[in-house]
A and B are shown apart, each in its own frame.
Chain A
Amino acid sequence: MQKSRLLFIVVSTVLAVILFASTAPAKREKEIRLGFMGDLSAPFSLSAEAAAKLAVEEINEAGGILGRPVRLFVEDTGGEIPKGIEVYKKLVMHNRVNAVIVAEKVEMGVAGIQIGAELFREFPHVMFSTIGSGDAIWHHVRDDYDRFKFGFQTYYFVSSHYLEILGGKLLPDFYGNVVGAKKIAILYEDMDWTRPIRRGLPGVSPPLKEVYENAGFEVVYEATLSLDQQVFSSIFERIAQSETDIIDCVVGYIDQVSFIKQWVDSPARNIPWFFWGGIAGMPMAWDMTGGAIAGGSIGSSFVRVPITEKTIPFMDNMIGKYKVGPIFGSHTTYDTIFGYRKALEQAGDLKDINRIIKELENVRETAVLGTIGWDPKYHYNIPYPEYITPIVQWQDGQMVPVYPEDIALGSFKPVTELRK
């Protein structure tokens, strides 16, 4: 076959596939449509996708929403903003979804809320960002409510909560009363979400260092790590010299495996660390670090602790039905869909988008990690103690919840004891 003819066939086939895939069946009036977009090459989006499918399946089994079946449209952004914008338009303008779930990093959430605002007037819908952290998304709502009121953010903490709740209450309690620390070394990763934590929020909170000092701790070392940093040995040497009792790591995206492997061979090897989030909070971290992670602590929602009656069934169903572990973003995606269901039920129908938004602002629903609901003014989800992320410590290959006390399944142990 001639190469040109072969090429013609390939191009024609691709065009046919594109058009076929784009021709969605006519919307059935009774159907409630949810759009899901994520980077389906990334574990967090894949986990969130499974959580969204699970939520829709459970809702449909229970009779749908307002007696209508729910249909989920899944789209892959490939992690690229231009593709994400394309996909958002497809979901809203072509598939005519009632809500879009952006289960991807913050830059996609920002692109989503921007494009959503363009579409909202002609194509009323709501948008949920269920993985994007930081403040960029809810700041849109704060700064221009009328334009961005359709946007909601479901994530564990926003900056003010990081400073006031996690840094201001939970960690001082954990470090002081559970770990027994008096001196703290703080490591930040150089990302947008840590900036308010490093510098403070004017009128809201001083920087994390001052927050800890106000709580009676001595901050003996502070450093910022580059996102692509692979060598941490000099950092560990300085930390060891500082004679700190705990390494507070405000990180989620650095190379945590390299960090841990170098920590265990460094002079700071007996000083425990706490990661605010990331891969160290997933079960495979033990194997990935060859057990070097023993003694480390992290905020992780991947533990079998019955925070509510939904927690354990959710984890079992994720693994049993979809063979996917519930990592960060899956809980928030699952809980968001149930929160949306309740808001729709309270609104009574789908006709008035403003009514639905008002209901979302006031809704409270039992969730996997506590209670889901959104701040009526700023649209971030309500934080701890409503929404909980347990602090776990790696002990003998297991993540053992050690804080808060009411859900703890074990006690915090010194690193030296766990290495024996």
Chain B
Amino acid sequence: MVKVELKRDRILLRWGQKKYEWCIEPRYWRNPIIGVSILLVLPLFFYSFPHLLTMLTTANLLAAISIPLTLQILGTARVNFGPQFYLGIGGYTAALLNLHLGWNPLFTLIGTIVVCGSVSFLLSPITWVAKGLYFSLITLILPLAFLDLTYQFGDIFRGEVGLFGMSSLLDLGRVRWNYLSHYYLSLFLMLVYLFSADKIGRSRFGVTLAAINENEDVARMMGVNVNRYKVFYYVLPSILTGIVGWFIVHTFRSFAGVTYLPLEYMLKVLFIVIIGGRAFVYGAVPGAYVVAMLEEGLRTFGHISHWLFPLVLIALIYILPRGEGLWGLYHKRHPRDYFPKLHVRRE
């Protein structure tokens, strides 16, 4: 028998020994709802500007790479300098399965999850054996080594040309509708990541996340199986990043490692994490949108945009509250909004 209780700030559902609760106090949900609503109606203003719609789609995808990265940074207490490695693995897996075995996007998604999961699981012990600069260096090398492989095994990965002609995720018959659908699909993907990360942040898992991030030794003393959690926080974000690669393959329909694996792409993702706020998964969304819009806006300045863009990004890092980025700015103005907050070690 389900028992419903109405509390001051939440609704409780009790079913036997189980309990489910939903917060109804506006400060828990008002601003996230407003934020998501803005993202939902945004394409209506850009329907006549397909390139800006694509820019917004790219912003969603960048956020979808940055959210798992933030989660990984928090959960492993290490900064991964090569998040695009799994983007490459996911993208190439999906593309190769689609092109050579004729798998449809659903099956290539499963393949991507399996391959990214297996590779990241095999590599996860690096979270035990390396930390600090050593971990960052190892993760920095991985995508660059993979980029080399795409040239050395050119028969498979087609080197600088990349793979192309993969089947589309969705075809609504008209290009504008397709681009609109790409935006909403990318938004859906990004929001799923965001809410999953939010759920983790609010759960007991989130407590372990904070504990590991704060001090691994203390977390161990508290009974947290640190190694197991670190594997989890390495593998899960890697799979999520790989899925973004899968998405790119089936929407842009061409995938070249030379675009996604070099340092420039990694820098963009790290900038998003820092500008958004490196302790906040939510910060990845405004971070990605600001970086994507800045890049697009500065492009109108012509050749100088190539040095203006990094300069503005550096200026933003300087202007924004250290380590807390855009989300920190928001949080300062709305301190009563409840979002799970996890402190990042500063040393």
Contacts and interface: CB of A to CB of B under 8 A. Distances in A.
Interface of A: 3-4, 6-7, 11, 13-15, 17-18, 21-22, 40-41, 46, 75-76, 78-83, 85-87, 89-90, 93-94, 105-107, 110-111, 114-115, 118-119, 122-123, 134, 136, 190-192, 195, 226-228
B50 A107 contact: no
Interface stretch (B104-112, B206-214, B217-225, B251-259): B251-259
Contacts of B321: 3
A61 to B, nearest CB: 24
Contacts of B160: 105-107, 191-192
Contacts of A134: 161
Contact of A3 (B55, B175, B329): B329
Given A17-B297, A85-B252, A87-B51, A227 B151 contact: yes
A85 B297 contact: no
Given A76-B299, A82-B259, A107 B161 contact: yes
B26 interface: no
B154 interface: yes
B306 A111 contact: no
B186 to A, nearest CB: 11
Given A94-B51, A195-B154, A15 B297 contact: yes
Interface string B308-347: 0000000010011100001001001100000000000000
Contacts of A190: 151-152, 154, 159
28 contacts: A3-B319, A18-B293, A18-B300, A21-B297, A22-B52, A41-B306, A76-B305, A78-B306, A80-B259, A82-B248, A93-B50, A93-B51, A94-B48, A107-B256, A107-B258, A110-B161, A111-B164, A114-B164, A114-B165, A114-B252, A136-B158, A190-B151, A190-B154, A191-B159, A195-B159, A226-B148, A227-B151, A228-B148
B51 A89 contact: yes
Given A80-B259, A195-B154, A15 B51 contact: no
B303 interface: yes
A136 B161 contact: yes
A301 to B, nearest CB: 22
B87 to A, nearest CB: 12
B49 interface: yes
Nearest to A253: B160
Given A89-B51, A114-B165, A228-B148, A4 B175 contact: no
A93 B312 CA distance: 30
Interface of B: 48-52, 54-55, 58, 61, 148, 151-152, 154-155, 158-162, 164-165, 174-176, 178-179, 248, 252-254, 256, 258-259, 264-265, 290, 293-300, 302-303, 305-306, 316, 319-321, 326, 329, 332-333
A11 B265 CA distance: 22
Contacts of B158: 136, 192
SS class, residues of chain A in contact with chain B: helix
B315 to A, nearest CB: 9
Given A3-B321, A7-B326, A107-B256, 12 more contacts: A78-B306, A81-B162, A82-B54, A85-B54, A110-B162, A115-B252, A118-B175, A122-B174, A192-B159, A192-B160, A192-B161, A226-B148
Contacts of A46: 303
B165 A106 contact: no
B49 to A, nearest CB: 5
A324 to B, nearest CB: 12
Contacts of A118: 175, 178
Contact of A89 (B50, B256, B264): B50
Contacts of A90: 49-51
Nearest to A88: B51
Contact of A22 (B49, B316, B332, B333): B49
A340 to B, nearest CB: 23
B254 A76 contact: no
Contact of A93 (B161, B165, B175, B329): B175
A43 to B, nearest CB: 12
**A-B interface, 8 closest residue pairs, ranked by CB to CB distance from nearest:** A90-B51, A14-B297, A192-B159, A21-B300, A86-B54, A81-B259, A107-B256, A41-B306
A192 B154 contact: yes
Contacts of A105: 160
Nearest to A3: B319
A87 B164 CA distance: 18
